[in-house]
A and B are shown apart, each in its own frame.
Chain A
């Protein structure tokens, strides 16, 4: 299957600083990528849909100015958590569509990034 790589796999940062998470599709071009957030023992919640070359579409309740998403190329999307606070500590996961699969949905996820804000 298609490979999606996410970096870093874990990060610890101080409160008030910004953190950037990268999501790369390694063997296909992803016109659309998705960013999810997962709290312990809870399901994945979609934060935003990232489209190459255009602005991301955010889900209701997700702060656009806090979670900056950039999809500058067909293989890379980034999520920047700005002015991070302890309540932003979570597991962030990206996923990407592989158009070769012929399916109208994304199927492949990155390894996830565990963010801890201290």
Chain B
């Protein structure tokens, strides 16, 4: 079993749609949960960072963590064409700072 599972997509939605991106993980030592956005040929950009179960909201983005199910989600409301990118979930136990990434989900928001 992979340490992190993320559906690579691609996921195509119309502008204005609500997007749901998900990752599952198997390592119980993971304490910090992150979502990164990566545009083509660019480095990842941190979007959301959480360290506990529950929801965290930032503008149109909501990160959700369910530690009991080892499942995290990122919701994007009122999606825009500029949201078209690859979204990577990332995890760390926090002791070393090393991040374990999911494969990334490619999202396309059509105008």
Contact = CB atoms under 8 A, between A and B. Distances in A.
Interface of A: 1, 4, 6, 32, 34, 41-46, 49, 91, 93, 95, 97, 103-112, 114
Given A105-B32, A106-B99, A1 B46 contact: yes
B102 A43 contact: yes
Contacts, number: 65
Contacts of B43: 4, 6, 93, 95, 109-112
26 contacts: A32-B97, A34-B98, A34-B99, A41-B104, A43-B6, A43-B88, A43-B101, A46-B98, A49-B96, A49-B97, A49-B98, A93-B44, A95-B99, A97-B97, A105-B97, A106-B97, A106-B99, A107-B34, A107-B46, A108-B46, A109-B43, A109-B44, A111-B43, A112-B42, A112-B43, A114-B41
B80 interface: no
B92 A105 contact: yes
Contacts of B95: 104
Interface residues of B, number: 26
Given A34-B98, A104-B94, A44 B45 contact: no
A41 B99 CA distance: 18
B97 A104 contact: yes
B103 A42 contact: yes
Nearest to A101: B49
Q: What 3 A-B pairs come out closest when comparing CB atoms?
A: A109-B43, A43-B101, A104-B94
B32 to A, nearest CB: 6
